[in-house]
Structure 1
């Protein structure tokens, strides 16, 4: 029966989406959490371990090649499915190479292999986000982006926490080979990845699409209202980066142990993130994305203000501080769900991967620059000064968000049946 077939098809879609997002979360957090920690434990100098941060560059710059992914079909097996298959195999190959060279290899070799993995993960992210943006119905954006946010938490738990535990007990090579096998498992779901009939037809085997609309960065800028959404992406989480970058240092300054801070920032944050992602998805079922984002933005002001009160010794001891840290972790994941749902609703059907990637990169770049600024502000003004600045910036972001989202709502973007043309 048609109804049953559609139900099975949607269930397959959700399973594929979970597999794809977890597939990129594991190697991502393996690179930024486990590998640097393992290298330091093996005696690598701090300045060389710090060089691993360069592997974040592909995540910030991936918008540059997003149009290529949107307009080029690599394999006959499917447009985005082809990209995902190739990039996931490259990721597995890269992790296998890391296992082979070992932690005593030169930093140049480790960075080279790490960059291969980072580029593969970033490119797969473009293809996966494009697939999700095309497939998700307007009413499903909250649930779809909850899966994306939850995959970050899964990446922390598996690629970060689990891999560090395995490295400690089994050694570098065995642990990384386990991670490589785990990264292979999502490929088993690709046969159930059904793509809609493309708006443009391309020659399989590397041919570029031939159509009236060729995905370009310029098309994003020329679409009405997209500069407003880009402005929102830049400003919305501006205050969060500086708060997050100094959060662990503030916890340590309040005499929490390194193990307690690691537990809060690792497993604790991941569990809070899973709960927050589910809560945001439920909230988005009953409220608009605009309303949810504004309430979350207002909640951030309140939480930052509570951190300020705590730094002034007006808000209890470490019990309240731990509660604030958990609440802030949950809020971050909720914001991710609502913000990415908005980004998807604003993305066009002709170049979904490009549009979404531009917005996500803008948001990430601002977050990273804000994180860098947080250290300088804390050094000059102390934690109370930092929390004062972050609270003021959060209030400024709320005002900008209110202005942009009002225009967004008036224009009717993201409403059911919008111009994004999401495939049913």
Structure 2
């Protein structure tokens, strides 16, 4: 495990870059694509299908045990998974860059859905390996800071994958923008490749079989209080998922340009990044229960604001 602060800095830098790489596709799918699709003339019903490619993030627990165990005990166990997933993301983006934007958001929309699904499959699998790397190498004392690095890196990736990407599409076009994203991901891959992952000690483990997996899944669902936490998490994410995904198409319908939408999203994302940085300080002063319900109330107020804007209109 990483113990000294000086020794932990290369790990923190690597984790920040890896979570940044996961935030890029998430911003592309969740924020940029709805705006680009609406700008291309797709109806809101078709835009709603853009949520389907995010399924790997919800289902990654299915193959997480295999990622954690397959290749364990060998050199660079998780690094090899991470590099393979980054290669997959780069390959998908390279193919997307070669295809006309007009075709992808028109006759080739089904191809776009498949490509976005693969993008999320690779990113979700990378997340499993990256989380495993962080959990293994960070001591309990450093995990709070590690979580801040995770959120901040992911948020920065989302900023570039959403607001900044929309601005770049307006300036550079579809192909040049995607190749810019590919260049950033290759830098992340280089950072991961140069990271020296300590050899994982070999421990006797039962083979990952379907029977073992079903037994572990049953134990997970029997945890006390799990149903309550699932309701809380659903309440947090369902509203955010339904509301945030349609904000960009709404702004397109209100005659905002992609550059203006990107600028607004950039400002909002920077505020979110600052909030992630302040979260740790807030948790030191508030109890978890107060923080949970307090911030849930603030989130509800933000959607009330969007309801007001949708009811009364907004000009570009």
Would the TM-score normalized by the shorter structure come out above 0.5? yes
> What CA distance in whole angstroms lies between the structure 1 residues aligned with 2:126 and 2:6?
25
> What CA distance in whole angstroms lies between the structure 2 residues aligned with 1:107 and 1:257?
23
Is it true that 1:192 corresponds to 2:191 in the alignment? no
Extract unaligned runs of 5+ from structure 1: 201-209, 312-320, 326-377, 384-424
Offset, 1:127: 0.8
TM-score by length of 2: 0.78
Seen in structure 2, the aligned counterparts of structure 1 residues 126 and 89 have a Cα distance that, compared at 3 Å, is same
Offset, 1:134: 1.8
Is it true that 1:237 corresponds to 2:233 in the alignment? yes
Q: 2:280 corresponds to which residue? A: 281
Q: 1:26 corresponds to which residue? A: 24
Offset, 1:220: 5.8
The answer as to whether partners of 2:74 and 2:200 remain within 8 angstroms in 1 is no
For CA contacts below 8 A with separation 6 or more, give which structure has more relative contact order.
2
> Which structure 2 residues correspond to residues 78-117 of structure 1 after superposition, within 5 A?
78-103=76-101, 104-105=103-104, 106-117=108-119
Tell me how many residue pairs correspond in the alignment.
293
1:68 to 60, 66, 69: 66
**Cα RMSD (Å) of the superposition?**
3.6
1:16 to 14, 21, 38: 14
Q: 2:270 corresponds to which residue? A: 271
SS of residue in 2 equivalent to 1:268 = helix
Extract unaligned runs of 5+ from structure 2: 312-316
1:21-55 Cα offsets, whole Å, 9 max, x none, are 00111122112322343243234454443322211
Seen in structure 2, the aligned counterparts of structure 1 residues 237 and 213 have a Cα distance that, compared at 3 Å, is same
> What CA distance in whole angstroms lies between the structure 2 residues aligned with 1:168 and 1:147?
31
Offset, 1:169: 1.4
Q: 1:144 corresponds to which residue? A: 146
> What CA distance in whole angstroms lies between the structure 1 residues aligned with 2:72 and 2:173?
37
1:145-174 Cα offsets, whole Å, 9 max, x none, are 222222332123101111111111111111
Q: 1:417 corresponds to which residue? A: none
The answer as to whether partners of 1:69 and 1:126 remain within 8 angstroms in 2 is yes
Is it true that 1:297 corresponds to 2:292 in the alignment? yes
Seen in structure 2, the aligned counterparts of structure 1 residues 23 and 292 have a Cα distance that, compared at 3 Å, is farther
Seen in structure 2, the aligned counterparts of structure 1 residues 196 and 222 have a Cα distance that, compared at 3 Å, is farther
Offset, 1:280: 2.0
Seen in structure 2, the aligned counterparts of structure 1 residues 304 and 121 have a Cα distance that, compared at 3 Å, is closer
Offset, 1:120: 0.5
2:205 to 211, 220, 239: 211
Seen in structure 2, the aligned counterparts of structure 1 residues 110 and 140 have a Cα distance that, compared at 3 Å, is same
> What CA distance in whole angstroms lies between the structure 2 residues aligned with 1:294 and 1:172?
45
> What CA distance in whole angstroms lies between the structure 1 residues aligned with 2:292 and 2:205?
41
